[in-house]
Structure 1
């Protein structure tokens, strides 16, 4: 596992977390664009777990890593949304790190 790959994955995960937080704020104001607060919270929890693993020196072996966020997005979100792209990129880089 390369340190730069982990750093890229962590940066992408932090961007995705920030995007989720912004979308949750929009939902709280009644202007949410994608998903539901419940689903966003679940995705945020998974991203936070990914970030913790990337920060630790004990990144699990690839078959044991958190996964599934991309499937949720592909199944139910608009394909052209910037938040979806951020999250999918974060998951991809995390799984490759």
Structure 2
């Protein structure tokens, strides 16, 4: 595991968290464009755990890492949603780090 791969995964995870926070704010204002607050909050919780694991080595073995966030995005979000793409990238980089 290279430190640069971990840093890249952490940076992308932090971008995903910021995007979720922004979308939650839009939902609170009645202008949400994707998902719902409950699902966004659950995705956020998993991303927070991923960020914690990335920032506090050692990472769990690849078989023990958190999974499933990408399936939620792929199954229920529009394919061209930029937040969804960042979340998918964050999970991929986390699982690859």
TM-score (norm 2): 0.99
Q: How many residues align structurally?
A: 97
Alignment partner of 1:33: what SS? coil
Question: Distance in 2 between the 1:41 and 1:9 partners?
Answer: 20
- Equivalent position of 1:66 in the other structure: 66
Query: 4+ residue runs of structure 1 moved beyond 6 angstroms?
Result: none
- Equivalent position of 1:29 in the other structure: 29
Q: Which runs of 5+ in 2 are unaligned?
A: none
Q: Which runs of 5+ in 1 are unaligned?
A: none
RMSD of Structure 2 on Structure 1 (CA): 0.4
TM-score (norm 1): 0.99
Question: Distance in 2 between the 1:57 and 1:22 partners?
Answer: 28
Question: Distance in 2 between the 1:21 and 1:73 partners?
Answer: 16
